[in-house]
Structure 1
Amino acid sequence: MPDVNETIIEWLQGQQDWLQQATETLLSDGCLSDVKLDELVAYLKTSEGLEVTNHRQFDGLATHATATGELRLTEIGDISGIENLAPRQPLNFGKGNLCVIYGHNGSGKSGYTRLLTKVCGKPQANDLKPNVFEAPPAERRCKVTYSENGVASEVDWPANSAPIDALRSVDIFDAETAVAYLTEETAATYMPPSVALFEELASVCNRIKEKLQSEQEALVSALPRLPSEYMATQAGAAYGGLNSTMAEADIQSIIQWETYDQITLDQLGERLKTADPGQLARNKRNTKQQLEQLLSKLKAVATAFGKDGLDSIRSLRTDAINKRRMATEAATVESAELECVGTDTWRALWEAARAYSQTVYPGQQYPVTNDARCVLCHQELGEEAQRRLLDFESFVQGRLETEAKAAEESYRQALAALPSGLTEEQSATACQAAGLNGGPWETRLMESWRKIVNTRAVLLEHEAKNIAEPLEWPTDIIEELSNRIQLFEREAAQHDEDAKHFDRAQAIKEKLNLEARKWTAQQAAAIRAELERLRKVALYEKWKRSTNSQGISRKAGEIGEQVITQMFVDRFNRELKALGASRIKVELGKSRTTRGKSLHKLRLKGAQTGRDLPESVLSEGERRVVGLAAFLADVAEQPHAAPFVFDDPISSLDHDYEWHVAVRLAQLAQTRQVLVFTHRLSLYGAVEDAAKKVGDAWKNNHLQQLCIESFSGTAGHPADQAVWNANTKKANNILLQRLDDARKVGEASGAEAYRGLAQGICSDFRKLLERTVEDDLLNQVVRRHRRSVTTDNRLAPLPLISPEDCQLIDDMMTKYSCYEHSQSSEVPVFIPEADELRADIESLKAWRESFRKRPEGSVASA
């Protein structure tokens, strides 16, 4: 067989690094704390943690072992409100390894077993009940004393609270345990450290998965619920199908909502509402016409008041100014008597005179000089005045003057040609007609018109006070108007088409899908958050897959097959043989592996069909002994010395099985504490004989026989050592002490009180006589409740028995039989007086002492 550790290391180096790190932590620390678990979860979430590595050597694997040590149960006492247990003094299990607690039915044996099962945290433990025949107690608790490696501990344990961790390793066998081993799949309780490692790893995987699951469940979706009317739409389906792998293009198709989409939705709504598509088409075209006019005017204004337009105006103004300056500078009329000829004022006066001349001298060329008067002063024109007027006219009609006038006219015409902007009222009216009112575009147009009016005013004032700023070309407005013009034309064309044929059902479907798209677009932030959540969830799913323990279970099965299953089966077969049950046709086999544990199940050996189960074929006694064998095979070879607790292990067993069980119990008690609760005196005696087989010295040091009893509605009371369970010498002394007590009671309370106690003494004296025959006269060669005849070093004294010995005991047996067995009512039974009874008891004591000394050393001590 290959080295198990090498096989495990080879397997580990093929696992992800987080699992390898978990293994090293388990090997070094023995467990994984919550802090280390959190660190491991964080490491698992990294790329390094998910990488398969082979750099770890797992040196701790060779030294990984389960802690060992001795655990002992010392006593249970101060019981209150648990079952019907109410012992007056603690039940003490003594210092030896083998303690047999005898009690009749209802004496509290099962109550103690149920209490221990709960205290030790066994899976089959049920909640402990109070005494149902009494009022609910104020408190429910008990005191448990135990020791670990010689160090004593005492725990005040509230009923049904958490188990005492130190006692979890106690192994308890009762009827339910027997049934469980017989009918259920069982994992071997003790596993070699190398195999137990897989169970620990599987547990770590489950803890990590639970933590990851908890973190994943905290990622709660905040995605709004899709309205039911959108469920059947394409957009609704896309919204409902959000997933972590969605492409960005698919995401955009859900969260984007453009102006065009809104226009399309409005159009569909309009088409669905209208009853006359033709009229609607005409209305659209009228609106389109208004938009075209508005666009044309805006383009013209934008051109006129743009940089080029302003530059042109300024160029004309500069040209006019320059030419007027040149003309003015060249204005030299020699006949002029006054200055400033050629100035604007002078030219205005001259032109006014020209106009007036046509009134008084119509049809004559200005200036009229022949037989004419001055049109300004009405005086007759002399020769000098006539020449001066003709000189002035020559000046006005000169080239520079003509050019100056032409330049000024061009500038004036350019100013006159400047388009005027719209007033706010006109702009509002135009926007309303074009369908732009009440929105941002109306605001933008208003701002543009205000700028245009201001710029035009500055230009008309020749930029005397302010400089006109060029108007930026309103590209966005123009583009929007152009788009709307095209849109209205398309809509009009669609309405024309609708007037011929309209698929209303399809239009409704398209409209509903657009409304759904608009709704999903409004949830854009929530959709982004949900996609992020889904990506995180996908990561958690990936991480949880890494914690799947199936691979661990498979490897555990392989390793377990090598070092657990066969050993478990071999132990079971040995236990069957040790319990005298080899003939029972059952076998233990592996059923499956789960979470790192190899599970085993009992089945019939040689059965023709697999449907017949052991529990349905075996007798009650066979089921009991097979369950006991499986239990012992599972727990008996654990390395730690923890107590065994058996509750009536021989229930339903015959004498052969009973003896084998007693021998096995004595064997177990050689290495650890064994506590046996029983209601059968036969087991009481069989265990004593089995202990003697180990050795008298061992028996005297380790065997303790106790008795518990019920009294006044409560149970579990440890009984004082009595005639039936003390050695005959001590039993004799017990009867004498009881007789003294009875005499005192009689003297105080009368003969009737004495007789009540004395009758019990007589009955027990009869039992003592029987035991005297077994233990003293026959030297324990034959005893009741014992299957064997013990002859080893015991037969030699038997020839020393004399007829007088037999007569003495026979006479006393005859005399006191009436107190143990029922008698005819016609023959009354009289209780002996105290002196008579004392004489008989002391005579038996004296005979025993004499018989033991006959001859010196020839009779073995009891």
Structure 2
Amino acid sequence: MLAHWANDNDEWVRLLVSEVIVTGRPVGATTIEKAYQVFRQEKALDKRELPTVAKLIFEAQLDESAPPLAVTRLSEVHGVNALIAGAVIEPHEGLTILYGENGTGKTGYSRIFKALANSRTADTILGNVETDPAEGQTAKVEFKLGDDEQSLTWTGERGVSPFTRMSIFDSPAVTTHVDDDLDYVYTPASLALFNHVTAAIQAVTAQIDAAIGTLSAGSSGLISRFQRGSRIYPLIEALGASTDLADLKAKAVTDGDADQKLDVLTQAVGALRANTMGTQIAALRAEQRVLTQAVAAAEALLAFDATAYNETLVRRAELTVDHETFRSELFAAADLPADPDDSWSNFIEAGEKHRQHLVELEAHDSNRCLYCRQPLLDPARVLIARYSIYLEDKISADIRATDTIMAGFKRQITNIKNSELVAFIGEYSAEEEKPTHFSQVVAIEGASSALATAVAEAKPASLTISAVVTNPNADVEAALATVGANISTLETLQQNRAQVLEEKQAELLESKAAVELGKSWPLIEAQVKSAKEADQLKTLKRPLPSQGRAVTELAKTASDQLINQSFDVLFLEECEALRARPLKLQFVGREGRAQRRKVMSGRHKPSKVLSEGEQKVLALADFLAEARLAGITAPVIFDDPVSSLDHRRINEVAQRIARLADDNQVIVFTHDILFATTLLGLFEKSKRCVYFQVTDEDGKGKVTRATGPRWDTLSGIRGKINTTIEAAKQQDGEARDALVRVGYGWLRSWCEVFTETELFQGVTQRYQPNVGMTRLQNVNTDKLGDIIPKVTEVFEEACRYIDGHSQPLVTLGVSPTLAGLEQRWAELRELKKLNEDKS
């Protein structure tokens, strides 16, 4: 099928298919590269140099079967859950049963097999989480592969050949086998060829994608050679398969003197870009600020009336003297504690304000003192009258008027700004070459500072201010006018320079781009060619996905012939054997993989309809059909396969597993005693069976070989009896009595187990549906007459003392003794020894 399909396709496809069919393995990197080269040459992307790939001629072949695998021993287990060291499991070539109650350690051993097989439900294996969960996982696995005996030291790996051929079923696998779309574990070698072909086509497609990516990337440094803003830049930015090379090449400059012309243009732009006029304008503006402030200061100084200021200052001094004289004379006879001064004046003014306040409130009493509220005597009235005269004095009013005038002079001086003047003087004072108007600025600033100091200190102002400032002011005003004119002229020139610079820069940008276009033309031409080739590859790639789908359809047809039709028959056989409800199977395939799906009524998942037990037997049928599909050549392992099943189905599953073990190695982990005993009964004649009991008596995972499962063991009951006797020795009174009664209960159980397993050798057992007649000959009949009466006597005495039996009134008050319990225990041990003596 593959050869016929390949012959109808391109040569590069035939090359890949031929390699897959001949080798039976995935195609190597060398062949992938060769197929890609054939593809390029076949599609005329490259010159044809490789020979033509001939048509394929192949004959169908049968798949080879693998040699049988059998596990012979599992030992030296460490770091797996809490399993104790030293356990050994030696599976039978037929059926191996590992029985144990929940939590005894069976799961740890099954997890090792799942990891080796890399089963669908294999999970992470932990160490003993209560001690050292990080302990390394190891186990020794001995096995036979065909006739070759080998061993493997397992260290926690998953999927170790040849154990990947093992088939494993457990409870988590039920959902997988019932509802999921499953890939077949077994894939015939010829069916695997389709996957290899699909992978090879995808690899060549990846080569094409890589080539498209490389070709589409272009020259990484090409765009950086051109400056954004030129008319050529967007053409380079958009280089691709649609680029008109002839039109683009017409824009290139390749003259011999192109570089020289660029140098001349570059120098011109550099000169224009230097912008010396901008520096001159900035300096003139700084000078303009200084001159403007100097003119303002000079005008303020000229506007200042120094004569009026000095006269007001003199008048203020005269008024102060007159006011002090008037005050002293007015209160000379007032017997004041000290000469009147400013603080005393403040005192008088405060009293007047308080008096006016009381008048407004209509609460003033002119006959009482404002301060002490005592009646006023005549001397006091005279003093108060003088206070009024003092407050109404015209001299004080004149002083206040004079102070107002002085405040106006101060504001006039304070408003003069000289920060620019001070900075200007500080900048050039130490320089030898000073600006032409430096002395004028110094004169104005000096006059301003001197006047400000005089006014601040209330001293007379110089009457020569006008003479000092007039000429400098005229010079500064003239300089200010000149600076303004110069600034206007330079700004006009600068605007023209900016326009010329803009024109020259644009010319330089386009010239550079045109020259670079000529220099980079080989790279540009190559990039456009690569873009055109990338477009061709994209066009040629479009049919490739359909080829992948064609291989998938071939694989579905082949898998239907090689797998699905056979699986359908096997699945129906298993459903019938297990009494499982037969369902409709759908076979699906994706990317060359064969899969199966189970549905009910055309669309419902089985888990939505079937009971838990029905789902389990359906999963078992699916599992067994899959295991048989390729012919079972490796162990089949069942981990608790009958949970949720009733007794009838347990029997049917046991019979099916027994038939499977007639010709194959089967390992069963179970905690179901009925299932275990049923399996043992089915192998009683053939003896193709071995039974191991897994307990946690001395630690989880203790494995012992036995003849069948036990509810109770003599060794287990023996330990409980000994423990109870030792505990009773440590107590007195009612506590000891209670422990002795417990001990007799254990004696009673020991008698039952001894009779069932030792005395009558398991001929009849409580959990088996049949009588083991073959074991009857193992009964030691010679000793029965001596043993049975004594065992019966101890059993009846134990029944009298345990709480489980109602006692008559006469015996209720009789308590058992510890000595009696020890004596009876010793007697039973002797009876066991007697029964074991076959002489």
The answer to whether the superposition gives a TM-score over 0.5 is yes
Alignment partner of 1:715 is 2:700: yes
Q: Which amino acid aligns with 2:75?
A: G
Counterpart of 1:57 in structure 2 is 57
1:837 to 794, 814, 828: 828
Q: Deviations over 1:168-202 (max 9, x none)?
A: 11112223322222232112333455434323433
Counterpart of 1:679 in structure 2 is 671
Counterpart of 2:107 in structure 1 is 110
Counterpart of 1:130 in structure 2 is 127
Alignment partner of 1:155 is 2:152: yes
Counterpart of 2:170 in structure 1 is 174
1:264-663 equivalence runs, <5 A: 527=524, 546=544, 549-582=548-581, 586-590=583-587, 592-604=588-600, 606=601, 610=603, 612-639=604-631, 641-663=633-655
* Inter-CA distance 708–534: structure 2 relative to 1 (3 Å threshold): farther
Distance 2:797 2:30 in 1: 76
**Residues 589 and 601 in structure 1, CA contact (< 8 A), matched pair in contact too:** yes
* Inter-CA distance 617–128: structure 2 relative to 1 (3 Å threshold): same
State the 1:14 CA deviation.
2.0
Alignment partner of 1:257 is 2:256: no
**Residues 191 and 558 in structure 2, CA contact (< 8 A), matched pair in contact too:** yes
**Residues 86 and 716 in structure 1, CA contact (< 8 A), matched pair in contact too:** yes
Secondary structure in 1 matching 2:567: helix
Q: Deviations over 1:277-322 (max 9, x none)?
A: xxxxxxxxxxxxxxxxxxxxxxxxxxxxxxxxxxxxxxxxxxxxxx
**Residues 761 and 775 in structure 2, CA contact (< 8 A), matched pair in contact too:** no
Q: TM-score, normalised by structure 2?
A: 0.55
Distance 1:509 1:655 in 2: 98
Distance 2:76 2:173 in 1: 27
Q: What percent of counterpart residues are identical?
A: 19
1:752-767 equivalence runs, <5 A: 763-767=749-753
Aligned residues: 577
Distance 1:761 1:525 in 2: 105
* Inter-CA distance 47–225: structure 2 relative to 1 (3 Å threshold): closer
Counterpart of 2:97 in structure 1 is 100
State the 1:82 CA deviation.
2.7
Secondary structure in 2 matching 1:676: strand
Q: Which amino acid aligns with 2:151?
A: E
**Residues 741 and 802 in structure 2, CA contact (< 8 A), matched pair in contact too:** no
Secondary structure in 2 matching 1:549: helix
* Inter-CA distance 134–784: structure 2 relative to 1 (3 Å threshold): same
Distance 1:18 1:636 in 2: 38
**Residues 81 and 108 in structure 2, CA contact (< 8 A), matched pair in contact too:** yes
Distance 1:237 1:818 in 2: 107
1:187 to 183, 190, 194: 183
User: Cα RMSD between the aligned structures?
Assistant: 5.8
Alignment partner of 1:13 is 2:13: no
**Residues 742 and 754 in structure 1, CA contact (< 8 A), matched pair in contact too:** no
* Inter-CA distance 534–522: structure 2 relative to 1 (3 Å threshold): same
* Inter-CA distance 707–23: structure 2 relative to 1 (3 Å threshold): farther
Distance 1:622 1:575 in 2: 13
State the 1:596 CA deviation.
1.3
* Inter-CA distance 835–775: structure 2 relative to 1 (3 Å threshold): closer
Q: Which amino acid aligns with 2:653?
A: V
Distance 2:744 2:208 in 1: 76
Distance 1:662 1:845 in 2: 34
Distance 1:122 1:255 in 2: 70
Counterpart of 1:373 in structure 2 is none
Q: TM-score, normalised by structure 1?
A: 0.54
Distance 1:666 1:43 in 2: 58
* Inter-CA distance 258–647: structure 2 relative to 1 (3 Å threshold): same
Secondary structure in 2 matching 1:572: helix
Counterpart of 1:494 in structure 2 is none
* Inter-CA distance 777–629: structure 2 relative to 1 (3 Å threshold): closer
Secondary structure in 2 matching 1:168: helix
**Residues 92 and 665 in structure 2, CA contact (< 8 A), matched pair in contact too:** no
Secondary structure in 1 matching 2:560: helix
State the 1:149 CA deviation.
0.5
Q: Deviations over 1:664-714 (max 9, x none)?
A: 21122223211111111121112223335xxx12xx1x21111222356x5
**Residues 170 and 642 in structure 1, CA contact (< 8 A), matched pair in contact too:** yes
* Inter-CA distance 27–237: structure 2 relative to 1 (3 Å threshold): same
Distance 2:6 2:790 in 1: 78
* Inter-CA distance 766–792: structure 2 relative to 1 (3 Å threshold): closer
* Inter-CA distance 192–259: structure 2 relative to 1 (3 Å threshold): closer
Distance 1:724 1:821 in 2: 27
Counterpart of 2:428 in structure 1 is none
Larger deviation: 48-57 or 617-626? 48-57
Distance 2:692 2:193 in 1: 42
1:72-91 equivalence runs, <5 A: 72-89=70-87, 91=88
- Mark the runs of 5 or more structure 2 residues left unpaired by the alignment: 45-50, 273-495, 807-811
Q: Deviations over 1:346-405 (max 9, x none)?
A: xxxxxxxxxxxxxxxxxxxxxxxxxxxxxxxxxxxxxxxxxxxxxxxxxxxxxxxxxxxx
Q: Which amino acid aligns with 1:719?
A: T
Distance 1:816 1:686 in 2: 36
**Residues 230 and 512 in structure 1, CA contact (< 8 A), matched pair in contact too:** yes
Distance 2:803 2:535 in 1: 85
**Residues 763 and 816 in structure 1, CA contact (< 8 A), matched pair in contact too:** no
**Residues 572 and 629 in structure 1, CA contact (< 8 A), matched pair in contact too:** yes
Distance 2:797 2:221 in 1: 95
Secondary structure in 1 matching 2:637: strand
**Residues 238 and 254 in structure 1, CA contact (< 8 A), matched pair in contact too:** no
* Inter-CA distance 257–553: structure 2 relative to 1 (3 Å threshold): same
**Residues 747 and 825 in structure 2, CA contact (< 8 A), matched pair in contact too:** no
Distance 1:74 1:544 in 2: 55
State the 1:544 CA deviation.
10
State the 1:597 CA deviation.
1.5
Distance 1:195 1:9 in 2: 13
- Mark the runs of 5 or more structure 1 residues left unpaired by the alignment: 1-6, 275-498, 851-862
State the 1:654 CA deviation.
1.8
* Inter-CA distance 86–118: structure 2 relative to 1 (3 Å threshold): same
Secondary structure in 2 matching 1:719: strand
Counterpart of 1:66 in structure 2 is 64
* Inter-CA distance 63–521: structure 2 relative to 1 (3 Å threshold): same
**Residues 87 and 718 in structure 1, CA contact (< 8 A), matched pair in contact too:** no
State the 1:48 CA deviation.
6.4
Distance 1:22 1:93 in 2: 47
Distance 1:555 1:820 in 2: 80
Secondary structure in 2 matching 1:92: coil
Q: Deviations over 1:100-124 (max 9, x none)?
A: 1112222222222222222223354
**Residues 81 and 130 in structure 1, CA contact (< 8 A), matched pair in contact too:** yes
Counterpart of 1:704 in structure 2 is 690
State the 1:765 CA deviation.
4.7
Distance 1:22 1:195 in 2: 16
**Residues 766 and 813 in structure 1, CA contact (< 8 A), matched pair in contact too:** no
